[in-house]
Structure 1
Amino acid sequence: MNLRSIAPDDIPAPAKLFLVGVVFNGIGNGIFNVVMQLYFASIGISSATLGSILMMNALSAAILTIPMGVLADRYGKKRLMYICAGSLIVAVPLLLLTKSVLMFRLAFLSIGVSNAAAVVFSPIYSSFFDKDEMDKAFGFFFALNIATISLGSLLGFVPPLLVGRFGFSLSFSYWSFLAFGAVFFVSQNFFYLLAMKDYKESEARKGFSFNLTSKDLVFKISLIQLLSAASVGVFFSLFPFYVNKKFGLESDALGGLFFVANLLSAGVQVLSSRVSNRLG
């Protein structure tokens, strides 16, 4: 896949910085997707406990996403970016420096806050492009994100390598690789904030009025998203944990599976951009 073929003709400097952040996010996500649940399994976390830990991310993101959008309109998107960055910075030591289930839950609660604050990503990124470049800009954004997640997933061969060649324990090799991924996760925010250095906020709204002009449509879309998230959560959220316990798959095999799946998804994003340009 040639990402240049779907990139906008002109990518401004702030957008390039923002996209570097997207690359860091993708690599960090790929690493976490492959290794995180295996790390929890290696330190004796049960499936029920793991489900309660992961639930904190989904729950806090679901509750806070709409309020974060309101706060962004009221106080500015740049402040939301600081919340996004700060929440991740809080989550990382809770995740890596403790083995307490309570601390893990708080870490994922904080990650959910960060994910909710990331509601400002799309409007910030879109502000860097003209209207007629928007389809290509977002097609490139999502394809780049998925491609870099694939790259991060493919690095799943590293923990077994650390065990086989350097004598690391399995849990320490997973922990080390999570720490490596966390560097990418935290660093992404540096590039987002650099991209927003000269960002001009729209005029702040006074008060906290919340008024939807298309309530029925928003309700239907929200219901579809809720059902989709619930079905995916039930069947796929614990997939790495399940195949590890059931079939003994480690991060190298899982990384290969995620790599193929993510590349297919990236291909769909490329096609969707081209179809959108042709059909409108």
Structure 2
Amino acid sequence: MVFYHNWAAQFSTYNRNIKLSFIANILAQIGLGVFMVIYNFYIRKLGYSEAVNGQVISMTSLATALILIPAGIISDRYSRKKVILYGVLISGIILLARSVVSGQQLLITLAFISGLAMAFLQVSGIPWLAENSTPEQRVNLFSLHFAFMTAANVVGSLLGGLLTDVFSYFVTDVNSIRLTLIIGAIIYTVAIIPTMKFQNPVRKSTEPKKSAKSFSWKNNGMKLIVLFAVAQILIGFGSGLVIPYLNLYFSDRFSASTTSIGFIISLGQAATAFAMFIGPWVVKKVGEVKAVVFLQLASLPFLLLTAYTNHLWIAALGFLFRQALMNAGNPIQMSLMMSKVNDSMKGLANSVNQMVFNLGWALMGPVSTGIVVQYGAYWGYAYVFTITATLYLIGSLYFFIVFKGISTKAEKSVTTTKIS
């Protein structure tokens, strides 16, 4: 009860924009959860090879990577409210179109356009929350934000698997998946209603907003943005090898049903949502940088367990803990970045971070499917998961070495400011 009251008290301090953002994100994530858990199967049921699945995922991520920096600059210069509003509207329409088309070229083209549209949401969401909150609120706010998003995705994943199996009793497999995708796209698009009620926040920052001409490496944190990007690209390359194909992994290695896969993925997301609440507690104990590194390193044994087991329940258990621990550090990392970057560059910082992560997904998609096709359902996934674990390890160590010093300097600077 104390735990609940503490977080409820935190939530009550947030302004109306943040609360509306939570509602919009919950709807969007339920819709995406429905959509993403079965979309790979949709492509399969249409009769296309794994290479087409890889192309679709790669083109989505490539489009996002290409547009993220321009989207971040647009988000910084213009109304974030409008960027989010149009992003939800356009991406919702594209998801509906992706639910019904069946031609290979159309599938790939719409995946690319979908990646472009969703990029504007990716770069604007975190800065929007940052601008509507105080620095003291952000670690808890981002943890709660990611927890709500993940929990909503759990509901969507469960709903996606369940609806597909139910519809399959009445229509063909392809049409059962198609109906489920349409429902997911509609739920996603409903998020436009709370988004329309956003109000542009009053600028509270004491730091003047600089024009693009005044950007410099030293004064505006470009060096910091690049350092964050290097850490993120290592994680993105590892993630791109594994995460988009987890549903196929459970299907190929264990012949699991769509309902079972949806349930397993939902359990992993539920564990992630719970782990988000632990993050702020870990930060209080060891600090932001060490908390991120500790959580990421703790996930590696479970990733390797998933890689080499032949038992579904062990794989599910490994996936559950890996998912929770690896993702629990994300809100802490976002809070750290947003607290160190000038308001005039928050969108750019987030866009660069998202861009390099999506670049990893874009480039690693064909690599992952190629390895699995060549080495089969056991050794193919085992190799892919092992490579991912190695990249996560390198990324975590890099993050600790680079940002431990930055964190210390920042803490000293804050202390000095308070004393004076």
Q: TM-score, normalised by structure 2?
A: 0.60
Matching residue of 2:62 = 59
Equivalent of 2:13 in 10, 13, 34: 10
- The 8 Å contact of residues 90 and 107 in structure 1, kept in 2 or not, is answered as no
For the 8 Å contact 1:70–1:210, the answer to whether it is kept is: no
Q: Deviations over 1:144-183 (max 9, x none)?
A: 111111111122222112223xx22111111111111111
CA contact (8 A) 1:94 1:106 kept: no
- Out of 193, 196, 200, the residue aligned to residue 193 of structure 1 is 196
Q: Map residues 119-130 of structure 1 onto 2, 5 A cutoff.
A: 119-130=123-134
Shift of 1:275: 2.6
2:239 is aligned with 1:232: yes
User: Helix, strand or coil: the match of 1:238?
Assistant: helix
CA distance, structure 1, for counterparts of residue 266 and residue 6 of structure 2: 21
2:347 counterpart residue number = none
Give the structure 1 partner of residue 180 of structure 2: 177
Q: Name the CA distance, whole Å, in 2 between partners of 1:57 and 1:124.
A: 24
Task: Tell me the number of residue pairs that the alignment of Structure 1 and Structure 2 aligns.
Answer: 277
Q: Which one has the largest radius of gyration?
A: 2
Question: Hey, what does 1:94 align to over in structure 2?
Answer: 97
* Structure 2 residue corresponding to 1:163, chosen from 147, 163, 168: 168
Instruction: Please tell me whether the aligned partners of residues 130 and 138 of structure 2 are also in contact (alpha carbons under 8 angstroms).
Output: yes
The match for 2:379 is: none
SS of the residue aligned with 2:47? coil
CA contact (8 A) 2:96 2:182 kept: no
Secondary structure at the counterpart of residue 78 of structure 1:
helix
Report sequence identity in percent.
19
The equivalent position to 2:275 in structure 1, one of 248, 268, 276, is: 268
After superposition, the C-alpha distances for 1:37-89 in whole angstroms (9 at most, x for unaligned) are: 11111111211011111111111111222221111222232332244124304
5+ unaligned residues in a row in structure 2: which ranges? Answer: 288-420
TM-fit CA distance, 1:94 = 2.9
Long gaps (5+) in structure 1: none
1:105 is aligned to 108
- Of the candidates 37, 40, 45, which is equivalent to residue 37 of structure 1? 40
What TM-score does the superposition give when structure 1 sets the normalisation length? Answer: 0.87
Per-residue deviation at 1:187? 1.7
Alignment match, 1:154 = 158
In 1, Cα distance between equivalents of 2:82 and 2:217: 24
Whichever residue aligns with residue 151 of structure 1, its letter is: V
| Cα root mean square deviation, aligned | 2.6
Deviation of 1:259 after TM superposition, in Å, equals 1.3
- Note the C-alpha offset of 1:96: 2.1
C-alpha separation between the residues in 1 aligned to 2:177 and 2:126? 32
Any conservation in 1 of the 2:30–2:156 contact (CA below 8 Å)?
yes
Residue identity matched to 1:69: G
